[in-house]
Structure 1
Amino acid sequence: MGTKRAIRCFFKEKLVKGTLFLVLIALQWNPSKVLAFQENVDTTVDFNQYQGEVVDESTNNPLVFATLAVEGTNISTITNTEGGFLLKVPKNITDGNVIVSFLGYKNKTIPLSSLQPEKNRISLSVSITELSEININVPKDAAALVKETLARKGDNYFSDPTLMTAFYRETIRKRRKNVSLSEAVVSIYKSPYNSARNDALELYKARKSTDYSKLDTVALKLQGGPFNTLYVDIMKYPEFLFGEGSLSDYTFSFGRSTRINDRLIYVIKFNQRETVTAPLYNGELFIDVENKTLTSAVYSLNITDKDLASQLFVRRKPMGVDVWPTEVAYRVDYREKGGKWYYGYSSVMLEFKIDWEDRLFNSVYSMTAEMAVTDWERNESGQLPKNRERIKKSIILSDEAIGFSDPDFWGEYNIIEPERSIESAIKKIQRQLRRIERRSK
């Protein structure tokens, strides 16, 4: 077997498990079938809603993916790419506090009673780490620290079955314009971290909106849906990043340490060895100094072969079209409660080019999938949903969802606040759909 073929077989096997595939099909748009979905909404509101933004205290720059958690509960949300947040708290919780945290910044505790329904502005200050703190017991072998961290998942992470509620979103942009948006509330039947059993997913609610006029007569779809983000949970699925025996394919080194939630954190940089030809990863691991716990990871795929990369990610495409990824980036964040850590947020960003045989210029698209755990409880029975109720790994969420509805569609569920650009795109699409519906009558 040739070297390139061997690489393709090795890496494609990993992707089949993770199901991160693009499906491109020639688009045949029937406007009469693209109508906004409406649902009877329960007008009884049993929660208080708080909106606002989290920013850097010195620069006023937005802090992206900052966490807001209600103290003493499992309720949380994160900020969007513009620093905005939307937090929904049951009305029976009135005296609690909200803990706001962000990588490298000092936590801030805010009483719920001091938050307003809208226009809350929360500023965080940078946490300064003294070099003397991090030089006392720094291990000499970064690779050994990574191995120890992966081996301790049974001690440091949830050891009980857990039922999580999560918000999932897929966004497709053509250059800087949003062209498609799919969202869902899902249930994650999370198995213990020391268990070989895979997690199961169940779809609760889903919606979508697509501006077909910007899709170049090609419909782009992401196969795998929420599984694409679930498998970024490195501590549960280390084989997708560091497969058995593959740690030796990387070099590990210590970067500048930082703080998360007032904890001292080692920053471990890892890079694919130059002698390794298979496309692997480069990035950073954030490891708690005291407990040897992975708290976050940010990394990207090393794309060196355009042809191979295309075959790895593109499941189907029309004739006369070349498609290849130019960037594939991942992120995962963990949260802690009661001395145990658990999966809290992950994202996958895929940027790619579409080159038409008969066109002078190519098109640049980016696709983002992200999932945030917004609540959880112990799954006392340990039971999983029936097979017919589970989300299949081959799911294409945009085919399962129906359309955007009343803003109260999501009710009491915490979601990631839409970016202003996405919000305006949705409103524009909704106006177009209403005009189409009127014309079809």
Structure 2
Amino acid sequence: MKAYIRFSILPLAAIFLLFNSGNVFGQADSYVTISGVVKDAQTREVINFASVSVSGTDIGTVTNSEGEFTLKISNTLNAKSIEISHLSYLNKSFKIEEYLGDEKVFFLEPHVFQLKEVNVVPDDAKAIVKMAFERISTNYSEKPNMMTGFYRETIRQRHDYLSISEALIDIYKAPYTGYLNDQVKILKGRNGRNVKKADTLLVQLQGGPNVSLLLDIVKNTDLSIGLNDLDNYAFELSNFANVDDKLNYVISFKPIAVKSEPLYIGKLYINQESMGITMAEFTLDLNDQEKAANMFVQKKPMGLLFLPTNTSYMVTYKEQNGKYYLNYVRIELKFKCDWKRRWFKNNYTIISEVAVTDRKEDKITRFANQDQFKTNMILADKIQSFTDANFWEDYNIIEPEQSIQSAIKKFTKSMKNK
């Protein structure tokens, strides 16, 4: 007999907990590969989630949490350099011909704005945010785009991976004006599960990459953090930052209204000249843990306690030809599950991320209904198991961390032994 619990991460997204009582480039060698680690030029510390792209194009990826990346570049592009950028660092170009071969180290110089570089220091942070949202139609695309992306979700019980799901996806990115929703189509994917570890409690994420798209706070002001009603929050100009070599306001926000569901605490990065939102980092307000838990839990068996302990959300945008486009989204949720009157208590972590690796804006059409990955679907149930170490071939992906690489090897070996 199985009972299940359902938790919402965001509207239209859910986690299921089940209790068990019993080709882009064509031919091979038609591309070159650049790989390595990005580090701070002064401290030599790794820089995670940096944007890495082929100069002058929309082709790219991001560094993982260990600062590592691999970028595959088609020879047909005749590309000469790549560009690496990150919050509070100077953008830097690297010649491709000088970084071929073994993994290299790419150093970025930190840049902290001095107050003398700021011409005007505004005293109304809320007015800055309001202006940023008023300029959405100017700063973001008013026509649909077709994006290629790489999506990964991992589910851990303490330090053990219960599931790793990865997929190459097409994203129909609807215009930022109007009411059309974004769409996702799975092109290719794979999944590995630690069934033995998951015998007692099986955790699954519903919605997959659709959850990530909801974190586009510019498009989904009402479905994400509730910035459609600015009166819910107090805003403060807390700092300045360098984003893509341009001055950005750093606007901190925290809830001041009391709602039936908890609100969010975080930061918005807004370009001083264009007033475009370039980045957002935020977390769910967990001060009222019962209210926060009720936000996640939709249905659960009697006797199971669910407690969210930490949430972390990040979304970044990349400017190209005067418009900002979705670049990277990351979600991390930590929670505890505890059965009353039973010797059963565990900590879980779910991480999902999507990196946009290419973009087109010509002859774009929406996906047919049967081709869409729906918000009520579970990615792990729609893709194949790990069997091939070279599964991604020529595609650009987010380089897996060492712990994920080890888990993938175990999953692949397990499937081959069956």
Give the TM-score taking structure 1 as reference length.
0.88
- Change in 2 beyond 3 A, CA 1:17/1:369: closer
Distance 2:228 2:92 in 1: 41
Size of the aligned set, in residue pairs, is 410
Give a deviation string over 1:302-352, Cα, whole Å, max 9, x none. 023333333322344444322221112210000011111111111111110
Distance 1:156 1:287 in 2: 11
Question: Tell me, what secondary structure is at the counterpart of 1:150?
Answer: helix
How far off is 1:197 after superposition?
1.0
Which residue in the other structure is 1:378 paired with? Answer: 361
Is residue 2:61 matched to residue 1:68?
no
Which residue in the other structure is 2:410 paired with? Answer: 428
How far off is 1:204 after superposition?
0.7
Distance 1:234 1:118 in 2: 39
Question: Tell me, what secondary structure is at the counterpart of 1:239?
Answer: coil
Report 1:10-159 matches (<5 A): 18-27=11-20, 44-134=28-118, 136-159=119-142
Report 1:234-249 matches (<5 A): 234-243=217-226, 246-249=229-232
Which residue in the other structure is 2:190 paired with? Answer: 207
Tell me which amino acid in the other structure corresponds to 2:116.
S
How far off is 1:67 after superposition?
0.6
For the aligned residue pairs, the C-alpha RMSD in angstroms reads 2.2
Report 1:320-399 matches (<5 A): 320-360=303-343, 362-380=345-363, 382-399=364-381
Question: Tell me, what secondary structure is at the counterpart of 1:213?
Answer: coil
Give a deviation string over 1:241-297, Cα, whole Å, max 9, x none. 454763111100011101111100100000111656741000000000011010000
| Percent identity between the two aligned chains | 36
Q: 1:296 aligns with which of 257, 274, 279?
A: 279
Alignment check: 8 A CA contact 1:24 1:316 kept = no
Alignment check: 8 A CA contact 2:264 2:284 kept = yes
Tell me which amino acid in the other structure corresponds to 1:355.
D
Is residue 2:406 matched to residue 1:406?
no
Question: Tell me, what secondary structure is at the counterpart of 1:395?
Answer: coil
- Change in 2 beyond 3 A, CA 1:95/1:332: closer
Which moved further from structure 2: 90-99 or 324-333? 90-99
Alignment check: 8 A CA contact 1:95 1:113 kept = no
Give a deviation string over 1:131-173, Cα, whole Å, max 9, x none. 1122x31222111110110111110112221100011110111
Alignment check: 8 A CA contact 1:25 1:317 kept = no
- Change in 2 beyond 3 A, CA 1:318/1:70: same
Larger strand proportion of the pair: 2
- Change in 2 beyond 3 A, CA 1:45/1:26: farther
Distance 2:9 2:315 in 1: 20
Distance 2:404 2:10 in 1: 31
Tell me which amino acid in the other structure corresponds to 1:76.
G
Question: Tell me, what secondary structure is at the counterpart of 2:391?
Answer: helix
Distance 2:112 2:131 in 1: 27
Is residue 2:243 matched to residue 1:263?
no
Alignment check: 8 A CA contact 1:23 1:315 kept = no
How far off is 1:24 after superposition?
0.6
Which residue in the other structure is 2:255 paired with? Answer: 272
Which moved further from structure 2: 322-331 or 229-238? 322-331
Distance 2:228 2:193 in 1: 43
Alignment check: 8 A CA contact 1:23 1:316 kept = no
Question: Tell me, what secondary structure is at the counterpart of 2:77?
Answer: coil
Report 1:178-217 matches (<5 A): 178-215=161-198, 217=200
Which residue in the other structure is 2:398 paired with? Answer: 416
Tell me which amino acid in the other structure corresponds to 1:312.
M
Distance 2:410 2:192 in 1: 10
How far off is 1:64 after superposition?
0.8
Question: Tell me, what secondary structure is at the counterpart of 1:212?
Answer: coil
How far off is 1:356 after superposition?
2.1
Alignment check: 8 A CA contact 2:387 2:412 kept = no
Structure 2 unaligned blocks of 5 or more: 1-6
- Change in 2 beyond 3 A, CA 1:400/1:318: farther
Larger helix proportion of the pair: 1
Question: Tell me, what secondary structure is at the counterpart of 1:238?
Answer: coil
- Change in 2 beyond 3 A, CA 1:392/1:139: same
How far off is 1:398 after superposition?
1.1
Question: Tell me, what secondary structure is at the counterpart of 1:428?
Answer: helix
Which residue in the other structure is 2:3 paired with? Answer: none
Which residue in the other structure is 2:206 paired with? Answer: 223
Distance 1:245 1:282 in 2: 15
Tell me which amino acid in the other structure corresponds to 1:370.
E
Question: Tell me, what secondary structure is at the counterpart of 2:330?
Answer: strand
